[in-house]
Structure 1
Amino acid sequence: MRQFLVILLLAGLSLSTQAQSNTVQVAHNESQKRVTVTVDGKPFTAYIYPGPTVLKKPVLYPIMSAGGNFITRGWPLDPRPGERIDHPHHVGMWFNYGDVNGHDFWNNSTDIGPSHAGPFGTIVHTGVKSMKSGKGQGELVVTSDWLDKDGKVMLQETTTYQFLAGANNRIIDRSTTLKAAGKDVVFKDNKEGMIAVRMARQLEQPSTKPEVFTDAQGVATKVPAMNNEGVTGLYHSSEGIEGDAVWGTRAKWMKLTGKLGNEPVSVILMDHPKNVGYPTYWHARGYGLYAANPLGASVMSSGKAPAMNYTLPAGQSVTFRYRLLIQSGDVSDDNIAKMNQW
């Protein structure tokens, strides 16, 4: 923690003594199948695992800024007026992949469209190993099984979340270790992956395409012309690429800037130098999908790079690490680079 605070001080993010007064409380409610994370009693996020009849994987949902605004979309769990109602598998912040031994974990939901044939895999929560609350930070360690279409375990997952809170920022560090169970597991080169957040409408990039949105009663409404009022998102990568052009490019980190009401925010997702495929490809779309895909080298580069088809031998493990920073205000490229050395 001390080293982390030094990095933040160098980055000018003011997470020193003032931030350490912020108490991060991590609390498990087994009956509700959720672990809530609060900062001085105010909501930050929650790890939820309602089960396959509701969600086909555990997720962090919702996620809020230091200013108390949602950075994540509400639909389909808690629809808010004016939201898109596409991609029902895009919920909160999640981690999965589109082709794992032929199984689609990414597109699985309770409302699968005809374009997705399967077979589908499901990630099932198996336990809360430990929790820690404290000044300025909290921790949660959970386990899950990645199941094939017949309910057999393909991968065993152990994920550690570190939740950090400053006066003007929130940070989620996710470290996920996957262990192949009874046989080799192949992550075939695929577009759909891997760490992802579905953003609130305000943090989408403005668009002119006709879409379907929810009204105040949560009813689907076709909108022939887009109303971009309050829609302020803009992607910016570590390589200086911006807007829709970031899709399919490689970068150490990505920054999404915008405004949530009166709060300007920067939502930064960072790849870890020790991750497979570093620096990752970015599966980031203007409509609010914000994802990093380290394993889809060929499809993400439109065939310019060879297919990765990453293989995890039976009994072996691999770890993926990511950091999500939610900053009230802007963060310079230099300061992000300093923070990307955890």
Structure 2
Amino acid sequence: MKNLVLSFTLLASVATAQKQGVVLTHQEAQKRVEVTVDGKPFTAYIYPGPEVLKKPVLYPIRTAGGNFITRGWPMDPRPGERVDHPHHVGMWFNYGDVNGHDFWNNSNDVKGHGGPFGTIVHTGVKSMKSGKDQGELTVTADWLDKDGKPMLQETTTFIFRGQGNERSIDRTTTLKALDKDVTFKDNKEGMVAIRVARQLEHPSNKPEVFTDAGGVATKVAQMDNTGVTGHYKSSEGVEGESVWGKRAKWMNLTGTINGEPVSVAILDHPKNVGYPTYWHSRGYGLYAANPLAPSVMSEGKDKPMNYVLPAGKSVTFQYRVLITSGPVADDALNQKVNQFTRL
């Protein structure tokens, strides 16, 4: 009996140890890779296919306290959320004009609007590794034109970390042009982005459409700002909705979710094209960095880039997202940038 108890204790200890650290689990049937930190859900890389989503994304994303920083709608509607931009799901990477194709706005719910649309299709999990301090996931995808022909080949490596009150995601994406030059025309719709939860929006009194408790769209004449606490601040000291169209090395969005003070910072990297990036960040919950559209983002003050990637050549973009439970000082974020750029 004593040996049996010891065996059960040992098995329990092994199971607990297996949950510690950053663990990645590929659920192939569900087309997702789950990421946990010390046994707690953090995020998931999901690739349900073009019938559901026109790109792979990270969804949802949680704080160390277990609160969602990402909007639920349209995947999992929550009461009081805005019903807009159905292509804003989780955290993603794409662009609004790639050889004339709109990858940003493509959605099954977009009717009679724009185009031609491009689609990003997951092609494989190249490698996956769990670890005590971090987990690493490398995936591949094709950027398809309106006829389903690949124009870009994408390889992305995510590094997930979690310790104490902090979670982080590094995204390194390499795009390779295939048989033709690829032009990223100056366009405001880009590039790395998160659609944040209602609590992280900036308060607004404009009439809007929201979801009710059943996920049904409901028009409201005046918005209820209860619990809406979002506030942007950039590395250059610009705050609030004025950050849109400004350049900065990092952006920090703060707020409170279910009583948990939250900081969501996105860090740019000096090796990125267009550094320091312009910020396509809106008070209604779109939180994006766009390095390729200087003319549009500056409202004509800067010259267009119209970045061209020659056939057979590659370009790499690197970003870090820091999700902290509690306040983060500007000096601390500058130190985080130094750590990120030294890697």
Q: TM-score range by the shorter chain?
A: over 0.9
Show the 5 A alignment for 1:151-230: 151-230=148-227
Whether the 8 Å CA contact 1:62–1:72 is kept in 2: the answer is: yes
Whether the 8 Å CA contact 1:145–1:154 is kept in 2: the answer is: yes
> Offset of 1:113 from its aligned partner?
4.0
TM-score by length of 1: 0.93
Q: Distance in 1 between matches of 2:134 and 2:31?
A: 22
Q: Percent identity?
A: 75
Unaligned runs of 5+ in 1: 1-20
Whether the 8 Å CA contact 2:292–2:307 is kept in 1: the answer is: yes
> Offset of 1:203 from its aligned partner?
0.4
> Offset of 1:22 from its aligned partner?
4.8
Q: Distance in 2 between matches of 1:323 and 1:22?
A: 23
Report how many residues are paired.
321
Q: In structure 1, what is the equivalent of residue 63 of structure 2? A: 65
Deviations 1:209-249 (A, max 9, x none): 10000000011000101100000000000000000100000
Deviations 1:252-281 (A, max 9, x none): 000000001110010000101100000000
Amino acid at match of 1:306: K
Whether the 8 Å CA contact 1:22–1:167 is kept in 2: the answer is: no
Q: In structure 2, what is the equivalent of residue 49 of structure 1? A: 47
Q: Distance in 2 between matches of 1:110 and 1:154?
A: 21
Q: In structure 2, what is the equivalent of residue 250 of structure 1? A: 247
Q: Distance in 2 between matches of 1:113 and 1:169?
A: 40
Whether the 8 Å CA contact 1:47–1:60 is kept in 2: the answer is: yes
Q: In structure 2, what is the equivalent of residue 301 of structure 1? A: 298
TM-score by length of 2: 0.93
Whether the 8 Å CA contact 2:20–2:39 is kept in 1: the answer is: no
Deviations 1:5-56 (A, max 9, x none): xxxxxxxxxxxxxxxx951100101110000001122110000000000000
Show the 5 A alignment for 1:7-26: 22-26=20-24
Q: In structure 2, what is the equivalent of residue 142 of structure 1? A: 139
Amino acid at match of 2:203: P
Amino acid at match of 2:218: T
Query: Is the aligned partner of 1:266 residue 2:263?
Result: yes
Unaligned runs of 5+ in 2: 1-18
* Paired residue secondary structure (1:336): helix
Q: 2:127 aligns with which of 124, 127, 130?
A: 130
Q: Distance in 2 between matches of 1:264 and 1:40?
A: 21
Q: Distance in 2 between matches of 1:123 and 1:63?
A: 21
> Offset of 1:107 from its aligned partner?
0.1
Amino acid at match of 1:75: W
> Offset of 1:136 from its aligned partner?
2.1
Q: In structure 2, what is the equivalent of residue 36 of structure 1? A: 34
Whether the 8 Å CA contact 1:127–1:142 is kept in 2: the answer is: yes
Amino acid at match of 1:129: K
> Offset of 1:67 from its aligned partner?
0.4
Query: Is the aligned partner of 1:237 residue 2:234?
Result: yes
Amino acid at match of 1:337: N
Whether the 8 Å CA contact 1:22–1:166 is kept in 2: the answer is: no
* Paired residue secondary structure (1:134): coil
> Offset of 1:153 from its aligned partner?
0.5
Q: Distance in 1 between matches of 2:32 and 2:179?
A: 30
Amino acid at match of 1:42: K
Q: Distance in 2 between matches of 1:340 and 1:311?
A: 28
Whether the 8 Å CA contact 1:22–1:136 is kept in 2: the answer is: no
Q: Distance in 1 between matches of 2:76 and 2:223?
A: 22
